[in-house]
Structure 1
Amino acid sequence: MKRHDALIRVAEYDRFRRPTSIRIDVTAGCPIPVVRTIFGAPDKPTETVVNVSLVTESHPTLDPTRKYKDRCRLARRIADRLGIDEGCHVRVDAGPYATYYRVYEIREHDAPLVVHEEHLDRLGIDGEQTVRLSTTIPQETPEQVRERGGLAETLVDDQTCEGVLVTAPHGGAVERGTDAIASRTYDRLDDGGVRASLWLLQGYNPPEGSAVTAHRRWHVGGFDRAVDGYPGLATLTGRAFDLVVGVHRSGYEWIEVGGRIDASVRERVADELRTRAGREVRTDLDRLHLPGTNPRISTNFLSKGGDRGLHVECTPGTCDRHVEEAAAALAETIRRVLA
């Protein structure tokens, strides 16, 4: 049994339903200790869940042409009740469906929640109605999310590690196979004695079916201003990791190895991927479609100095059929870099 197979996350809440602690326990005989993280109480009373009226409009600031269509606008009174600011994320639940939005703007006098009229397909509704707003975005366990849809967060961490962090922020059905590659990379590092942490998000649609993909519903971005919405991620942001790996899935026929880490490291990763996965690998940042160099993405802002992020965009074939080969390439290169 691998270490993260045995983790059970238990959340405790204050009277306002705000997480006050996260305890990660392990089954008997598992070799890692109990880990406990304490979240400070809010400065003023806030709520973490409210029921509000969702309304729609076609205002251009809500930008219906955006790829993921994840902008919303909140009334100031609602934002204050939730204790959030512009840039934060909110989860919106409507019946069996849920999704997240980035709070693009807060207005003093406005409807409680406003989204673009062309965005409703992400919620599985076709008109204005009452919905539930939450400030914690992942609310399901990995088991529950496969059964009923939603978003799950998994963290394997000893609370002090500042070495390697392996991440897959778009796991599950969002970018299939990326969480498997990240998990197996972590396993290989752990088996080889490399101190590392693992952070995953896994998004799925509900079993009722959906007109939109899990990718449209749960392709979460913009974490740098929204870490409080992800309890596991929030425990990592006070540290600066020597190396952060972000595993992603693209639609290209080649693998892209980017990020802000040294070119020499990216080239070593590329060589291993070519050998083990048998795919074309590109590393020239100026020619990559998804270079992963934005300092605001989690791969970079969680790393030391913001310049130790390794961003890997895998092909569909790599994610579907070459999980072990990709994980071996990443783990082997990391071991050599840290040696």
Structure 2
Amino acid sequence: MKAVGGGIGLTVGSNAFATRAKAVDSVTVRQNNRDLRGQQERCIISEDLHSALKMTINGQVRVGGQNDETKYESGLYTVTETSLESTTVEMSKDGLDRLGFTNNSSGFVDPNAPHPEYETRRMADKKDEYVEILVDNEEQSDLVACAPHGGWIEYRTDAQSAYVATALDVTEWSCAGYNSGGGAYDRWHITSTAIDRRSFPKLDSISDREFTHAVSFHGFSRSGIVIGGNADNHLKKKVRDKIDSLTNGKYDITLVDSDSPYSGTSSENFVNWLTKDGNGLQIEQGWEARTTDWKTIATAVAKVYRNEIG
């Protein structure tokens, strides 16, 4: 995905993504710990880049290195603001380390998050890419099942969203990212509160649907299962109890409050703003739960929502 080619003032890529908005080449990737300390998924771009990319603040961009200088070809970052620097992307030390940048590396910026031409998990896996998946009849608004970190980012979570959507004939919105030999999380993870509808065309297409319910499947490094989101506790307890029953009490299942880092209660969390009343449900799962029992957990969730949506 290295960008090459000519432009006015900035060098604009004419690579494999030539059919969509162009990447900007000859960018300096610079360290900034003053404004971005510890924020490994965020960056600041210069005003000239902001104008050339025709993007908005708080959206996602791909940043990559030139001449195979970085560990990975490219990865996703959320743009927090602009600077007066010329043709520059700024990141914290942690942000640089995500992809293996060094300070003042030469790189490129692409304004598109999911690949615009690849639409299947199979193609993304084959190409070490990141895709957006939408299965939708453009009418139903009872439930949307989601997995923003599917593929190898948080393994098996998009299989769960697909299972629930198919079982209930409802909408599925998922993203799937891959990287041969590991590194999909480093390249493609964007936290749920930062996901910007303007950076995900298929998400944007359903963002005003005002679903009655939304459920989002996730993975984390802890053991057990954590159920959060702004859905009412009555629904959360139903999901907890059904998962506990179908897995024979195998996992410690916790309902979290708003003080937990896994609470999922923020109004900026996409699973909440996808719903009419801001009442999405978020399920975090440890490795064993989402690999050994991914289908059982998805079945439990489907059974609960079947009763909720009638």
Please state which band the TM-score falls in when normalised by the shorter chain.
0.7 to 0.9
The answer to whether the 8 Å contact 1:256/1:312 transfers is: yes
- Counterpart in 2 of 1:121? 97
The Cα RMSD (Å) is: 2.2
Shift of 1:187: 1.9
Q: Secondary structure at the match of 1:285?
A: coil
The answer to whether the aligner puts 1:91 opposite 2:67 as a matched pair is no
After the TM superposition, which of the residue ranges 113-122 and 77-86 deviates more from structure 2? Answer: 113-122
Q: Deviations over 1:40-70 (max 9, x none)?
A: xxxxxxx54221312312432122x23xx01
Inter-CA distance 146–104: structure 2 relative to 1 (3 Å threshold):
same
The answer to whether the 8 Å contact 1:53/1:128 transfers is: no
- Identity across aligned pairs (percent)? 24
The answer to whether the aligner puts 1:235 opposite 2:205 as a matched pair is yes
- Counterpart in 2 of 1:303? 275
Shift of 1:17: 4.9
Q: Distance in 1 between matches of 2:126 and 2:97?
A: 21
Q: Secondary structure at the match of 1:87?
A: coil
The answer to whether the aligner puts 1:262 opposite 2:232 as a matched pair is yes
Inter-CA distance 147–101: structure 2 relative to 1 (3 Å threshold):
same
The answer to whether the 8 Å contact 2:147/2:218 transfers is: yes
After superposition, residues 13-92 of structure 1 pair within 5 angstroms as 17-18=19-20, 47-63=21-37, 65-66=38-39, 69-92=40-63
1:283 to 252, 255, 271: 255
Q: Secondary structure at the match of 2:206?
A: coil
- Counterpart in 2 of 1:6? none
The answer to whether the 8 Å contact 1:73/1:115 transfers is: yes
Q: Distance in 1 between matches of 2:137 and 2:201?
A: 15
Q: Secondary structure at the match of 2:277?
A: helix
- Counterpart in 2 of 1:153? 132
Q: Secondary structure at the match of 1:275?
A: helix
Residue type of the partner of 2:57?
Answer: E
Q: Deviations over 1:289-330 (max 9, x none)?
A: 511101101110111121x20111122111111122111100
Shift of 1:165: 0.1
Inter-CA distance 225–298: structure 2 relative to 1 (3 Å threshold):
closer
Q: Structure 2 unaligned runs (5+)?
A: 1-17
TM (norm. structure 1) is 0.77
Q: Distance in 2 between matches of 1:222 and 1:322?
A: 23
Q: Secondary structure at the match of 1:235?
A: helix
1:170 to 125, 132, 149: 149
Matched length: 283
- Counterpart in 1 of 2:11? none
2:184 to 207, 214, 220: 214
Shift of 1:268: 0.6
Q: Distance in 2 between matches of 1:119 and 1:77?
A: 21
Residue type of the partner of 1:172?
Answer: G
- Counterpart in 1 of 2:171? 197
- Counterpart in 2 of 1:180? 159
Q: Distance in 1 between matches of 2:103 and 2:256?
A: 46
- Counterpart in 1 of 2:4? none
